[in-house]
Amino acid sequence: MARLATFVLRHRLLVVLLWVGVAVAGGLTAARTVDRLSYEFGLPGAAAYETNTRIQAEFGGGGLVDPVVVTAGGPAGTYADAAAVRDFTASVQRVAGAAPGTRVVSPADAPALVSPDGRRAVALLYPRVVPGPDPYAAALPALQAAADGVRAVGSPLQLTGTVLLTQDGGGGDRGVLAEVVLGGAGALVVLVLVFTSLLAAVPLVVAAVSILATFLALLGLTAVTDVSFVVQYLIALIGLGVAIDYSLLIVMRWREERAAGADNDTAVRTALATAGRSVLFSGVTVAVSLAALIAVPLPFLRSIGLGGMLIPLLSVATSLTLVPVLLHVAGPRLQWPRRSFRDPTSRRWASIARFTVRRKWPVVVVTSLFLLALAAPLLTLRLGSPSIDAYGTSSPPARAAADVVAAGIAPGVLRPTEVLVPRGSLPGVADALAAVPGVAAATDPGWTAGGSSLLQVWTAADPASDAGSAALEDVRATAAAAGAQVGGTPAEDADFVSAVYGDAPLVLIVIVVVTFVLLARSLRSVWLPVKALVLNVLSIGAAYGLTIVVWQCGIGTELLFDVRAAGSITTWVPVAVFAFLFGLSMDYEVFILSRMREAYDEHGDTPRAVVEGIARTGRLVTSAALILFLAFIALSTVPSTEVKILATALALGILIDAVVVRGLLAPALVAVLGRANWVLPAPVARLLLVRDEQPSRSGSGDPQTSGAGRVAD
């Protein structure tokens, strides 16, 4: 780090010009980068995905995309006679004609599309799909215009279906810039409170450069592989928080050195040698945890891993090069209007640390039980797409969907299972599927292509429910026995779960081993990395549990987000949350433990090192966590329900980690372990290539009378 400090300060003009050029290029190409992002959630090689791809290729639509649902209601018995059904079907056919190539399933094909009391009828439209975020972008406007004013048996036609329900999920059609502005505004407030001077601008400038640089790197990544549209939000908002956190750590350490009497250049070099080292290890740890997503056999998640890795790496690069230059050139002047340099250690956090050290065992027991209680809902985790009733009744499509289900029509109609059957075995397969427990109906609309017929199978329960999932398993078993292939979005959801979590243990082992090695090298300890890994598991488990309470159980969902609970957790969210939270939480662990290690190397007293480490990092970690928390709050305003669930888990995870784990449980465990914290056996040190460092120690080691007591607010 000393050589890096010398290099960047000697070539400061080059460093500034380089980052300005990169930022300008990133800003100019950002729109192009966003346009090249993918909206593909496919799972190549999986049975349902391959079947759905074939359905789309041979029939023009369906498979990967649920149908548009047309419905009309009336008094009981309205659609009980054949004439009314013919009138409804004719009206639906007129609407379908507005989008040439649309396939139709009407009550004339399947009596199950009329409610038991005859008061509501339903038809399914399968328009041709187009690439992009909206598969029905070409057809849906025409269908909606054609449906306006059309009536069946005196009642207006209504359009619904998961495609329309997702569009009406709230939030509008905003670009990523709106979320960045929202997150940046929250970060600015926190930084102003922390610095009360123009120094607050330094982390924001570094974050802006880092985000734009990452978008530029992302453009290059899109040239070699598909990258999910979700990555743009992660780069903008997680990048905002991470870059600010890293630069904040360096600036705070520089300010501390200045308060201790160091001249500006010495303070810059010391900050880079100490805080900069922590930033480097933290960034690498985050990148490693995200790299694990590359091992998941799912292109969508791989792209999140690849794109996500760019965030910490470029945040580290800007923090370790641009921040020292800015502090060297303008640091003291940026202290305006506060010219004096105060010791940034905190009396309040020192008091909390002393309390924790004195009552270490009660703190360990109480906080551990608290975290385990928060994690308990994990036992009820349900993975999948949102349930039908999660969309509420606030929009016309949502009200129409609720009316369909309330009338007694099978919820599976809104998310059909589609089965490709060899033409010669069609009648027997259709009858066998209709007899499967949990199936409301299996119908043949007469669609044939490529030597196969396409059946519609509707489960009696919502496909997102346990009963719906069980019925789907039986449908797949029955179809496989007959040589048929099962597609539709419910089947693809099931394959998603198997693909994402089938290799999860191996991915976890890789993350744990690599993280342990990095932390052991950084902290020169065996037990500190073990403790950090255990605490991360507790912290992430608690975040999962609360997310399940909010989004699966629905406690607080409408209050916080003005939408109904999803009823399940989106399949890919838990693994993505783990990858991000594991690394981000480890950031704070490295910041705190590195400072404790530094203090212990000075005087050899563990309780005193705990107090000094927390006193000097408590305010920093709290501020950094608050900035990341606000960034995730901004992320939760993205219209996509899946992104809202991701943002909820990340925000809760950061909050729990900073307040409960790093503020109480981590220091208490360090106090419990005592001298064992600092042990690195010689064979392990040689294996990890850790140099033998003999710290210089001074002081009596009494935590009540030593340096921990001189901290100031």
pLDDT band at 707 (very low <50, low <70, confident <90, very high): very low
Cα(306)–Cα(213) distance, rounded to whole angstroms?
15
Percent of the chain with pLDDT over 90: 56
Distances (CA, A) of 40 to 44, 299, 392, 639: 11, 9, 26, 18
- Edge-to-edge strand order for the sheet containing 68-73? 103-105, 120-126, 68-73, 158-160
**What pLDDT is attached to residue 340?**
66
> Domain spanning 67-160 has what CATH number?
3.30.70
Confidence of residue 174 (pLDDT cuts 50, 70, 90): low
CA atoms within 13 A on the CB side of 242: 37
Angle, nearest 10°, between helix axes 606-635 and 176-195? 150
Helices 606-635 and 573-603: crossing angle, nearest 10°? Answer: 150
**Least-confidence region, from 335-349, 378-392, 417-431, 587-601:** 335-349
Q: Look at 474 and 293; give whichever has higher pLDDT.
A: 474
* pLDDT for position 330: 92
Task: Give the integer Cα–Cα distance in Å for 97 and 70.
Answer: 13
In this structure, of 38-47, 497-506, 623-632, the range with the lowest mean pLDDT score is 497-506
CATH architecture of the domain formed by 406-490:
2-Layer Sandwich (3.30)
pLDDT band per the 50, 70, 90 thresholds, residue 175: low
Residues pairing with 449 in the sheet: 452
Residue 382: closest CA among 161, 256, 570: 570
pLDDT tens sequence across 623-640: 988 998 988 888 888 777
Residue found by looking up tokens 């488990």 in the block: 541
Under 8 Å between Cβ of 301 and 293: yes
Q: Which pLDDT score is estimated for 1?
A: 81
Q: Is 535 or 643 the better-scoring residue by pLDDT? A: 535
Mean pLDDT of the chain: 88
* DSSP 8-state class, residue 421: E
> Helix (H, G, I), strand (E, B), or coil: what is residue 130?
coil
Q: For residue 710, give every residue at least 6 positions away whose Cβ sits within 8 Å of its Cβ, in sequence order, or none.
A: none
Q: Could you tell me the pLDDT band of residue 497, with boundaries at 50, 70 and 90? A: confident
Q: In this model, does residue 699 exceed pLDDT 50? A: no
Contacts of 271 (CB under 8 A, 6+ apart): 250, 251, 253, 254, 257, 324, 327
Which own/partner pairs from 174-178 qualify as long-range (CB within 8 Å, at least 24 positions apart)?
A: 174/637, 174/638, 174/639, 175/34, 176/34, 176/232, 176/233, 176/236, 178/637
Residues of the chain with CATH 3.30.70: 67-160, 406-490
Residue 645 contacts residue 388 (beta carbons within 8 Å): no
544: confidence class by pLDDT, cuts 50, 70, 90:
very high
Query: 129 and 64 in contact (C-beta within 8 Å)?
Result: yes
pLDDT tens digits, 81-122: 999 999 999 999 999 999 999 999 999 999 999 999 999 999
Closest CA to 62 of 445, 533, 528: 445
